[in-house]
């Protein structure tokens, strides 16, 4: 699933490419992804003619503000990503002259936004779990996205806050780091890397994490997420940026998907275990 760095990479790309563009049409072959309004025809009617004002990120959500005040929310979920370019619909499939779009993960196009200048924004989603929602300004104030925890780059992500929320958690720290209502944006990849950086075992109970360890978590979280953004995200699986290209964060990973490989600190083999139904990769020697 695209996490904070991948979503931030997408948002920064969109800010450069679709701001001030006018939506003139919308196509979809997976209308169930449109969660709000429930009627596809209503969504299409309300989105056509809208002009893009700005694009922001809340956690793993892409928030597109329109000039009229309406707000378009896109959550890429497990395998979704946005692409910007030009395509032609031939025999039921979108084709493009852009060679980057030939990557197979860029071919699962289920939604297409058409802009007045002839450019397009495609939504490729292999497993079709993603969602699209359109809100009025008033409706958005009550949206679920506003109940997410603090972003790791905000002042609200501090020792006092973490101490308060972790003290109530008798579950593994790995699982807690990924709870979006507590901390917005961290998922499986970056939680593994944060815990390796801080030398904390993923099974350690959150309420038993010391204040000194909380300070390390905050520092490591910002450092690693920044590195993820600088490297254009992680494309170990299917994430691609808006131009259809891979990110390079895999080059900097220390533990994620490295089961059986030697730890870069101590050379002991990396292990993989299950925590809350998700895989956790860690060094059994460094992270005790």
114/234 same-domain check: no
User: What mean pLDDT comes out for the span 183-209?
Assistant: 98
Identify the CATH number of the domain in which residue 179 sits.
Answer: 1.10.8.50
The residues assigned a catalytic role are 2-3, 60, 278
The answer to the question of residue 64 being in a domain is yes
Name the average pLDDT for the chain: 97
8/117 same-domain check: yes
266/208 same-domain check: yes
**SS3 of 237, please?**
coil
| Report field, pTM of the whole predicted structure over 0.85 | yes
Q: What is the pLDDT of residue 92?
A: 85
User: What mean pLDDT comes out for the span 240-249?
Assistant: 98
Q: Is residue 208's pLDDT more than 90? A: yes
33-64 as b/e: b if 16+ CB within 10 A: bbeebeeeeebbebbeebebeebebbbbbbbb
Q: What is the pLDDT of residue 124?
A: 98
H or E element that contains 122: strand 120-125
Domain that holds residue 226: 159-282
Q: Is residue 46's pLDDT more than 90? A: yes
Q: How many residues does the chain have?
A: 288
Q: Is residue 140's pLDDT more than 90? A: yes
User: What mean pLDDT comes out for the span 202-213?
Assistant: 98
Task: Give residue-wise pLDDT tens across range 48-72.
Answer: 999 999 999 999 999 999 999 999 9
């Amino acid at each position: 699933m695209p996490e904070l760095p991948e979503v931030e990479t997408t948002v920064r790309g969109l800010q450069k490419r679709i701001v001030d563009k006018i939506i003139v049409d919308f196509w979809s072959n997976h209308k169930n992804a449109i969660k709000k309004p429930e009627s596809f025809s209503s969504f299409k009617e309300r989105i056509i003619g809208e002009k893009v004002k700005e694009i922001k990120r809340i956690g793993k959500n892409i928030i597109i503000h329109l000039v009229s005040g309406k707000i378009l929310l896109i959550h890429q979920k497990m395998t979704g990503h946005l692409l910007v370019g030009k395509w032609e619909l031939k025999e039921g499939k979108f084709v493009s002259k852009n060679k980057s779009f030939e990557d197979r993960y860029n071919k699962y196009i289920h939604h297409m936004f058409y802009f007045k200048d002839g450019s397009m924004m495609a939504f490729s989603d292999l497993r079709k779990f993603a969602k699209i929602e359109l809100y009025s300004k008033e409706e958005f104030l009550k949206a679920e996205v506003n109940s997410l925890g603090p972003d790791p780059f905000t002042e609200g992500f501090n020792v006092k806050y973490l101490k308060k929320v972790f003290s109530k958690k008798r579950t593994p720290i790995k699982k807690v780091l990924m709870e979006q209502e507590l901390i917005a944006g961290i998922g499986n990849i970056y939680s593994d890397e944060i815990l390796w950086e801080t030398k904390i075992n993923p099974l350690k109970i959150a309420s038993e994490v010391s204040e000194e360890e909380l300070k390390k978590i905050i520092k490591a979280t910002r450092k690693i997420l920044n590195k993820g953004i600088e490297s254009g995200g992680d494309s170990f699986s299917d994430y691609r940026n808006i131009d259809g290209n891979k990110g390079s964060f895999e080059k900097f990973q220390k533990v994620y998907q490295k089961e059986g490989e030697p730890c870069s600190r101590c050379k002991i083999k990396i292990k993989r275990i299950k925590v809350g139904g998700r895989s956790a990769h860690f060094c059994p020697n460094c992270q005790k």
